[in-house]
Amino acid sequence: MQNFPEGMCVAFPLRAKGVSPFKSFLFSQGSGAVEIPACVLGALAASFIAGLMPWALSFSAGAMIAVVCSELIPECFEKSKTLASLGVVLGFCLMMILDIALG
């Protein structure tokens, strides 16, 4: 399901710039075609570095938290501090509930 909007994100701007429908289709398909071999390589790599997986996942989670804290939260606070604070608190509570409920 996620590949459909990704393909649209490639094809629609190309069509808006005047690229032919066929070329837009080919470029959008090509951008998604690399996911198949990358997925296979990722699965193979994960099997070889299983001991490093917790460290790698921790690093990626930390990177996402850094992006949210440095980019998204300050932008939200520019418009409405109360609403942004409420969103952060409710989002954190929902995350903790799901973490505890789903293990």
Q: Which residues of the chain have pLDDT under 50?
A: none
Please give the distance of CA 42 from its chain centroid, rounded to a whole number: 16
Residues 44 and 60 in one domain: no
Per-residue confidence (pLDDT) for residue 77, from 0 to 100: 82
**pLDDT at residue 1, as a whole number:** 66
Q: Are residues 4 and 28 located together in one domain of the fold?
A: yes
* Distance in angstroms (rounded) separating the CA atoms of residues 27 and 14: 9
The C-alpha atoms of residue 53 and residue 87 are separated, in whole angstroms, by: 31
Q: Whole domain around residue 67: which residue ranges?
A: 53-103
- For 90, the token pair is 């409710």
- How many other CB atoms are there within 10 angstroms of residue 11's CB atom? 20
- Split into its structural domains, the chain has a count of 2
Say which amino acid occupies 57.
Answer: L
Residues 63 and 81 in one domain: yes
**Do 58 and 33 sit in the same domain of this protein?**
no
Instruction: Give the pLDDT confidence score for residue 66 in this predicted structure.
Output: 86
Shared domain check, 39 and 59 = no
**Based on the domain organization, do 10 and 32 belong to the same domain?**
yes
